[in-house]
Amino acid sequence: MTKTTYVTEPFLPPLDEYIPYLEQIWENKRLTNNGPFHREFESALCDYLGVEHLSLFTSGTIALVAALQALRITGEVITTPYSFVATAHSLLWNNIRPVFVDIDPVTCNLDADRVEAAITPQTMAIMPVHCYGNPANVGQIGQIADIYGLKVIYDAAHAFGVKYRGESLLRHGDLSVLSFHATKVFNTFEGGAIVCPDAKIKQRIDYLKNFGFANEVTVIAPGINGKMSEIQASFGLLQLKYIDRVIARRGEIDGIYRTLLQDVQGIQLLPAPEHTQRNYAYFPVMVGPDYGLTRDGLYQKLRDNEIYPRRYFYPLISSMPMYRGMPSAEQSNLVEANRIAEQVLCLPMYPDIENDVIEKIADIVSGAA
Ligand SMILES: *Cc1c(COP(=O)(O)O)cnc(C)c1O
């Protein structure tokens, strides 16, 4: 029987290496609330990522919600419809109105040239996504934000470890939010973090994730419980020892796919982003009109062969019931995003995938199987 291949499979370090961490937790009985592993993981992540400050969370979504609260964002926020639902949901959870702007079809990121036209007196921030780990147009977005006095919060859920022009991509904007969900390049089962430029904002974020407590008797805001436990933090420390190997193997897989698929009629690969040290979070292909099958036809053909790719991102956030009535969600405003969402297919990409499985997938896509 052939094994089913999913779009991703989480990387797990050897179990016996995790046991000593658990023994230490059992020994000192610190389970959560900024425990020793939590502090050590925050500092190890700052070193690894090359950022000044970071606050750990239970998930990327809670981190997004808290990031908006930390900067006191209200009114309208400009964002992309081409993302995972959590990006826009974090706005609705804060009673903020998302304003969707179309994407650049080459990078699949927010089209910075269209941002200015979407700004209104209610606009307070821009929330771009580094889609597939490829850098958003940080230069132009930063300039627009400076001119109009807007905040920028990057949804960097795909961008763990990515470097742009020699430094961490997470250093751009006012805040960047990471996800350590099981399906991401770096996982702590569930988890996330807010990367922040200074200690003052980190302190506010740390209060917010702990119900708003500044000390035993002072509550400064209606905070939430977003604290990462010692189980996850210690696991993250162990995962960090393997992340360079994980990303290197992903790079190898990206190379194999590119070699095997570059000349397939009707299949377009995303160009590698410039000036970027990548993390190879996903392997999206665009199934164009001159391919022999529709995108969904290829999707089904792969499934018939026990290969389960995913249509990231289809359907578009802007087409979901809680968004589709909004003026900015109209198809005519989001032509490129709608087109790309109909063409995209993300092929299996994870460090433990075997080369012969990659070849089998490429054979199916290229019509040789
Ligand atoms: C995964 C993801 C999130 C949500 O992160 P969780 O840790 O699963 O809550 C947010 N935005 C994007 C773009 C994601 O891919």
Q: To 5 degrees, how large is the angle CA 197–CA 199–CA 202?
A: 80
For the chain, the domains span: 15-240, 243-366
Residue from 60, 67, 104, 86 nearest 335 by CA: 104
Instruction: Tell me if domain 15-240 and domain 243-366 are identical in fold.
Output: no
Cβ of residue 192 lying under 6 Å from some atom of ligand 1: yes
Q: What separation in Å is there between the alpha carbon of 16 and the centre of ligand 1?
A: 29
Q: How far apart, in whole angstroms, are the C-alpha atoms of residue 283 and residue 255? A: 10
Q: What is the mean pLDDT of residues 269-273?
A: 96
Cβ of residue 232 lying under 6 Å from some atom of ligand 1: no
Cα distance between the two ends of the chain: 18
Q: What separation in Å is there between the alpha carbon of 47 and the centre of ligand 1?
A: 23
Q: The whole model's pTM is what?
A: 0.98
User: Which option is the CATH number for 243-366: 3.90.1150.10, 3.40.50.720, 3.40.630.10, 3.40.50.300?
Assistant: 3.90.1150.10
- What integer pLDDT is reported at residue 368 of this predicted model? 81
Cβ of residue 83 lying under 6 Å from some atom of ligand 1: yes
Tens digit of each residue's pLDDT (9 = 90 or more) over 204-256? 999 999 999 999 999 999 999 999 999 999 999 999 999 999 999 999 999 99
Q: How far apart, in whole angstroms, are the C-alpha atoms of residue 365 and residue 350? A: 18
Q: What is the mean pLDDT of residues 78-95?
A: 98
Q: Which fold has domain 15-240?
A: Aspartate Aminotransferase; domain 2 (3.40.640)
| Three-state secondary structure of 58-106 | CCHHHHHHHHHHHCCCCCEEEECCCCCCHHHHHHHCCCCEEEECCECCC
Average pLDDT, the chain: 97
Which of ligand 1's atoms lies nearest the C-alpha of 190? 7
Give yes or no for residue 2 having a pLDDT over 70.
Answer: no
119-128: b or e for each residue (b if 16 or more CB lie within 10 Å)?
Answer: beeebbbbbb
